[in-house]
């Protein structure tokens, strides 16, 4: 298919653009295969370049021959285009609708994008499983790299290389895979060096109504326990939902077959419930006519902060099991690709100082989301405005980023990255020039040849000129476990995402700049103090050497 077939009117003059925080501007609208561009001949006017993949929905309306297109973006921005001529307006609208809903991934912009920056680091090879395993191998010899999934034959949503107990061979792993949803047998998510406890993750066991069991599965998860120790299985479904899953062939671990494990059910919502929550929240944030009571009731009715609380509470429980109880844990829900990953990754943010650095967080996203098989292509296909809802769309990754922001806000000096870094990851998960978030798992990315045909987001982020924009000026390395408060009073609406197009952040940005300047000035003063101290010490040394002896 040629893009030209979808572009009925490639260019329209005298189009007026209305967008947040900018004065209305008249210019020429151009449509390309991947971008909507509005450029004005006025001096000092910034051009609009909008990826078609960032467009969530469009509305059209007409007054006489003047047409208006309202573009609603996946990053929650709303843009208005006033287009002279009904035919031109209808043509532009139908082209945008076609170009923003392309079925083929290979027609998307990352396959056509060519970087204008010097590539210092190939992000596709920055966070390989072998490198992550090396971090653990110095602390323990009880785990190994398994290549059992080399051709994605055992589990289509797992990477080719996984970390498993050394005492379990590949043949046993194949048997366990037939007993777990989607072939997702238990694998290592995190090794806690302080006491040797581990977080494992998997899909639900396929016990069914007959109470089916798998000896190899029991042996695998028991291999992670120390002598005389118990472990915890955290199921991210309510007991009722987990019991209902048995009728569909799923289920949960029976106490009789896993006597050393205590099962805890912590209900975390998924799919359409989360999508509806996001839609209600964005709708409430965009309505500027609310009085205080109506705003608070709409915010509460969205249940967004309730979902944040549920996820953070479960992550804190997981971290407590590891750090305070000295117990290993296995986490799963149904598939093990959504709420499971929210909990495993947030528990690591709480426990592991490395995950709170820029590179460590990138490794976490790569390991616990991309390689672990979170279906980004499905979950992020639409955002808060699209009316044609599919059952698999859900803001799972955005909820995770929101939870990280809540912890960052409570511990502002413990994170190397700032809020801009989290916002950037949200934007690129939904629409990007990079291939990192394309596809639903490693198997699909491999078939698409993303490493050969697209650029990695990490190649762009990890350049010194870019990193400085994402670095937290208040950062001081903190090697302690950080325990976030999940009390309702402690959780706030993330304004940097949900209100950024509704009210200007000008004054907050200015305050942030001032903080950066003060910190830089403080560093300069500290350097001067150190120089003066050295000079004083030298003078005192010279003085004591040059002074005549008191004794004859």
Q: What pLDDT does residue 1 have?
A: 60
Cβ within 8 Å of residue 447, ≥6 positions away:
none
Q: What pLDDT does residue 311 have?
A: 98
Q: Which helix (H) or strand (E) holds 30?
A: strand 25-31
10 Å CB burial of residue 377 (0-12, 13-18, 19+) is: middle
Q: How far is CA 276 from CA 35, 81, 213, 380, in A?
A: 29, 28, 37, 14
Q: How far is CA 414 from CA 154, 410, 473, 487, in A?
A: 39, 9, 11, 20
Q: What pLDDT does residue 552 have?
A: 52
CB environment 381-411: b (16+ within 10 A), e (fewer):
bbbbbbeeeeeebbbbbbbbbbbbbbbbeeb
DSSP letters for 156-221: TTS-S-EEEETTS-HHHHHHHHTTBGGG---EEEEEETTTTEEEEE-PPB--TTTT---HHHHHHH
Q: Please provide residue 92's backbone torsions phi and psi, each rounded to the nearest 5 degrees.
A: -60, -45
Q: Are 417 and 365 in contact (CB under 8 A)?
A: no
SS (H, E, C) 484-508: CCCCHHHCCCCHHHHCCCCCCCHHH
Rounded (10°) angle between helices 215-222 and 170-177: 120
Q: Which helix (H) or strand (E) holds 509?
A: helix 506-546
- Label the pairing between strands 162-165 and 187-192: unpaired
Handedness of CA 241, 250, 145, 328 (dihedral sign): positive
Q: Tokens at residue 109, please?
A: 């912009």
Q: How far is CA 102 from CA 105, 210, 387, 538, in A?
A: 8, 44, 17, 71
Q: What pLDDT does residue 35 have?
A: 96
Give strand pairing partners of 73.
55
3-state secondary structure of 522: helix
- pTM of the full predicted structure? 0.94
Domains and CATH numbers, the chain: 4-102 (2.30.29.30), 129-492+501-507 (no CATH)
Q: Are 134 and 149 in contact (CB under 8 A)?
A: no
Cβ within 8 Å of residue 301, ≥6 positions away:
280, 284
CA atoms of 540 and 12, how far apart (whole Å): 78
Q: What DSSP designation does 471 have?
A: B
Q: Tokens at residue 42, please?
A: 């006025």
CA atoms of 531 and 537, how far apart (whole Å): 10
Q: What pLDDT does residue 512 have?
A: 83
Q: Tokens at residue 137, please?
A: 């191998």
Rg (CA), the chain: 27
Nearest by Cα to 53 from 98, 16, 116, 117:
98
Nearest by Cα to 457 from 431, 418, 419:
431
3-state secondary structure of 248: coil
Q: What pLDDT does residue 551 have?
A: 59
Cβ within 8 Å of residue 436, ≥6 positions away:
123, 370, 428, 456, 457, 458
Q: Are 60 and 93 in contact (CB under 8 A)?
A: yes
- Label the pairing between strands 329-332 and 231-235: parallel
Nearest by Cα to 165 from 131, 194, 202:
202
Write down the residue that tokens 């709480």 correspond to.
Answer: 350
pLDDT digits (tens), the chain, 552 positions? 678 889 999 999 999 999 988 889 999 999 999 999 999 877 767 789 999 999 999 999 998 889 999 999 999 999 999 999 999 999 999 999 999 998 899 999 999 999 999 999 999 999 999 988 998 888 889 999 999 999 999 999 999 999 999 999 999 999 999 999 999 999 999 999 999 999 999 999 999 999 999 999 999 999 999 888 999 999 999 999 999 999 999 999 999 999 999 999 999 998 899 999 999 999 999 998 888 999 999 999 999 999 999 999 999 999 999 999 999 999 999 999 999 999 999 999 999 999 999 999 999 999 999 999 999 999 999 999 987 777 799 999 999 999 999 999 999 999 999 999 999 999 999 999 999 999 999 999 999 999 999 999 999 999 999 999 999 999 999 999 999 999 999 999 999 999 999 888 888 888 888 888 898 899 899 999 999 999 999 998 888 876 666 555
Half-sphere exposure of 462 (CA within 13 A, CB side): 21
């Amino acid at each position: 298919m040629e893009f030209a077939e979808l572009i009925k009117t490639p260019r329209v003059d005298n189009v007026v653009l209305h967008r947040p925080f900018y004065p209305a501007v008249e210019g020429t609208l151009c449509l390309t295969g991947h971008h909507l561009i509005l450029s004005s001949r006025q001096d000092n006017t910034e051009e609009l370049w909008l990826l078609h993949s960032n467009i969530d929905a469009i509305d059209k309306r007409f007054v006489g021959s003047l047409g208006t297109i309202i573009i609603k973006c996946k990053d929650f921005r709303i843009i208005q285009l006033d287009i002279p001529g009904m035919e031109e307006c209808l043509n532009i609208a139908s082209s945008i609708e076609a170009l923003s809903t392309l079925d083929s991934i290979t027609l998307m912009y990352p396959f056509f994008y060519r970087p204008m920056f010097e590539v210092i680091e190939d992000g596709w090879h920055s966070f390989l499983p072998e490198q992550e395993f090396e971090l653990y191998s110095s602390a323990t010899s009880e785990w190994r790299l398994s290549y059992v999934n080399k051709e994605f034959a055992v589990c289509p949503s797992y990477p080719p290389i996984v970390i498993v107990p050394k005492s379990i061979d590949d043949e046993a792993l194949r048997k366990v895979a037939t007993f777990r949803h989607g072939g997702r047998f238990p694998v290592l998510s995190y090794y806690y060096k302080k006491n040797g406890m581990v977080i494992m993750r998997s899909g639900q066991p396929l016990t069914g109504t007959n109470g089916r069991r798998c000896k190899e599965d029991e042996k695998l998860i028991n291999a992670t326990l120390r002598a005389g120790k118990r472990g915890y299985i955290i199921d991210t479904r309510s007991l009722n939902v987990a019991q209902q899953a048995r009728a569909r062939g799923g289920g949960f671990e029976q106490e009789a077959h896993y006597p050393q494990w205590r099962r805890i059910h912590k209900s975390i919502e998924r799919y359409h419930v989360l999508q509806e929550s996001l839609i209600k929240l964005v709708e409430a944030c965009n309505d500027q006519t609310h009085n205080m009571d109506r705003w608070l009731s709409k915010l509460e009715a969205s249940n967004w902060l309730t979902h944040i609380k549920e996820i953070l509470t479960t992550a804190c429980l997981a971290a407590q099991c590891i750090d305070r109880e000295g117990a290993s844990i296995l986490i799963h829900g149904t598939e093990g690709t959504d709420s499971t990953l929210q909990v495993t990754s947030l528990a690591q943010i709480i426990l592991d100082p490395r995950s709170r650095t820029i590179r460590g967080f990138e490794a976490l996203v790569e390991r616990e989301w991309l390689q672990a098989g979170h279906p980004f292509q499905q979950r992020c296909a639409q955002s808060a405005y699209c009316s044609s809802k599919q059952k698999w769309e859900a803001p799972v990754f955005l909820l995770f980023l929101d939870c990280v922001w809540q912890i960052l806000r409570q511990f502002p000096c413990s994170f190397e990255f700032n809020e801009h870094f989290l916002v950037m990851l949200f934007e690129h998960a939904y629409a990007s020039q990079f291939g990192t978030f394309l596809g639903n798992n490693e198997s699909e990315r491999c078939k698409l040849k993303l490493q050969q045909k697209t650029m990695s987001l990490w190649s762009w982020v990890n350049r010194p000129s870019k990193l400085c924009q994402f670095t937290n000026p208040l950062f001081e390395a903190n090697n302690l476990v950080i325990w976030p408060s999940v009390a309702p009073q402690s959780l706030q609406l993330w304004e940097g995402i949900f209100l950024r197009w509704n009210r200007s952040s000008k004054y907050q940005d200015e305050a942030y700049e001032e903080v950066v300047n003060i910190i830089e000035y403080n560093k300069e003063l500290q350097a001067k103090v150190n120089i003066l101290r050295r000079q004083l010490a030298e003078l005192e040394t010279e003085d004591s050497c040059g002074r005549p002896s008191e004794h004859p």
